[in-house]
Amino acid sequence: MSTPWYPRLPEPTPLDIVVRAVLAREAASGLDALEAWEKVVFLVWTADGEIENGSFFALFYNSTGDHLSMFPEAFAQVGATKKARTLRKLVALFD
């Protein structure tokens, strides 16, 4: 058997598996249908992706920003206190 021309993707980690399941559940049923821990996973994963890939501007501009008021507490719950503090300040600008 020959070696494929494309690189082999790594096996998904347990975190990948949980995040994919939470994202699929949110897409199917909405944020309100998620358990509290699932909401934290969803909020942190989506917000962090926006921030790290496009800056805070992307977070506000894209539909992820619809959940802006929920982000600070979600980040605080996972121990990301610096981001939680920054998000609290940003949310206060729009209140």
Q: Tens digit of pLDDT for each residue in 38-92?
A: 999 999 999 999 988 888 888 888 888 889 999 999 999 999 999 999 999 988 9
Each residue of 4-44: pLDDT tens digit? 788 888 899 999 999 999 999 999 999 999 999 999 999 99
Residue 64: C-alpha distances to residues 1, 9, 37, 56, 87 (Å): 44, 28, 18, 11, 13
Work out the burial of residue 8: count CB atoms within 10 Å of its CB; fewer than 13 is exposed, 13-18 middle, 19 or more buried. Answer: exposed
CA 52 and chain centroid, separation: 11
Length of the chain: 95
CA-wise closest residue to 63 among 89, 26, 36: 26
